[in-house]
């Protein structure tokens, strides 16, 4: 059983970067077209949004590629940690798997809020959700303790709350600065 558990953990570790790459490829490929129409879409859906907030959604392909590259570096570190700890708790990998699943939820929430496609939302049901479910099942089968679905839901809700809260705080700061008279 020990060898089988090790093989199962190795399968999860080695496929994590692939799942990440497939999901983020969609984000990079869609960023340019999205960035050109996003400010108008945000203004239409949320008429009172400050221009600075709406304009901040105008992401370019290059900007998205840089962001994906930075997160990709983190994925590489987490993958290495999982590989080095594949006989035990997988190091940083279980937390990254929960974050990956929660990230998928934020894509769904963003598209629901805008009632439109947003980069990355197509690969949530095609890659992120099924891979996350398979990885959790596989790790449990290997004997590795992974967060229960309720804990993952909690992590997803916390991540979504942080993202939405951060956006709300950012919008409030921008609105406050926009409302101040220039000196």
pLDDT, tens digit (0-9, with 9 covering 90-100), for 156-174: 566 555 555 554 555 455 5
Residue 165 to residues 41, 60, 127, Cα–Cα distance (Å): 21, 24, 27
Check pLDDT > 90 for residue 21.
yes
Check pLDDT > 70 for residue 126.
yes
Contacts 24+ apart (CB under 8 A), 111-120: 113/45, 114/41, 114/42, 114/45, 115/45, 116/41, 116/45, 117/30, 117/34, 118/34, 119/26, 119/27, 119/29, 119/30, 119/31, 119/34, 119/64, 120/23, 120/24, 120/26, 120/27, 120/30
Residues 87, 6 contacting (CB under 8 angstroms): yes
Q: 179: helix, coil or strand?
A: helix
Into how many domains does the chain fold?
1
pLDDT, tens digit (0-9, with 9 covering 90-100), for 57-105: 999 999 999 999 999 999 999 999 999 998 888 888 988 898 899 899 9
Q: What is the pLDDT of residue 92?
A: 87
Q: What is the DSSP string of 44-92?
A: HHSTT--HHHHHTT---HHHHHHHHHHHHHHHHHHHHHHHHTTTTT-TT
* Buried/exposed 129-153: b ≥16 CB within 10 Å, e otherwise: eebbeebbebbeebebebbeeeebe
Q: What is the pLDDT of residue 15?
A: 97
> Residue 155 — very low, low, confident or very high, per pLDDT cuts 50/70/90?
low
Check pLDDT > 90 for residue 121.
yes
> What number is the average pLDDT over the span 3-30?
95
The residue segments making up the domain with residue 89 are 2-179
- The mean pLDDT of the chain is 85
Q: What is the pLDDT of residue 181?
A: 64
Q: What is the pLDDT of residue 3?
A: 86
pTM of the full structure: 0.78
Using the structure block, give the residue that is written with the tokens 């930075």. Answer: 70
Q: What is the pLDDT of residue 89?
A: 85
φ, ψ dihedrals at 56, nearest 5°: -70, -15
């Amino acid at each position: 059983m020990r060898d089988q558990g090790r093989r199962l953990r190795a399968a999860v570790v080695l496929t994590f970067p692939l799942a990440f790459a497939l999901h983020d490829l969609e984000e990079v490929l869609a960023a340019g077209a999205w960035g050109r129409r996003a400010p108008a879409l945000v203004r239409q859906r949320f008429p009172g949004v400050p221009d600075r907030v709406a304009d901040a959604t105008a992401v370019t392909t290059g900007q998205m590629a840089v962001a994906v590259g930075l997160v990709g570096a983190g994925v590489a570190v987490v993958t290495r940690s999982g590989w080095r700890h594949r006989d035990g708790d997988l190091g940083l990998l279980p937390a990254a798997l929960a974050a990956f699943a929660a990230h998928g939820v934020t894509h769904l929430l963003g598209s629901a809020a805008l009632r439109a496609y947003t980069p990355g939302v197509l690969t949530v049901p095609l890659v992120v959700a099924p891979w996350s479910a398979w990885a959790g099942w596989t790790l449990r089968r290997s004997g590795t303790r992974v967060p229960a679905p309720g804990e993952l839901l909690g992590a997803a809700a916390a991540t979504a709350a942080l993202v939405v809260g951060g956006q709300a705080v950012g919008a409030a700061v921008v609105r406050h600065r926009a409302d101040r008279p220039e000196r």
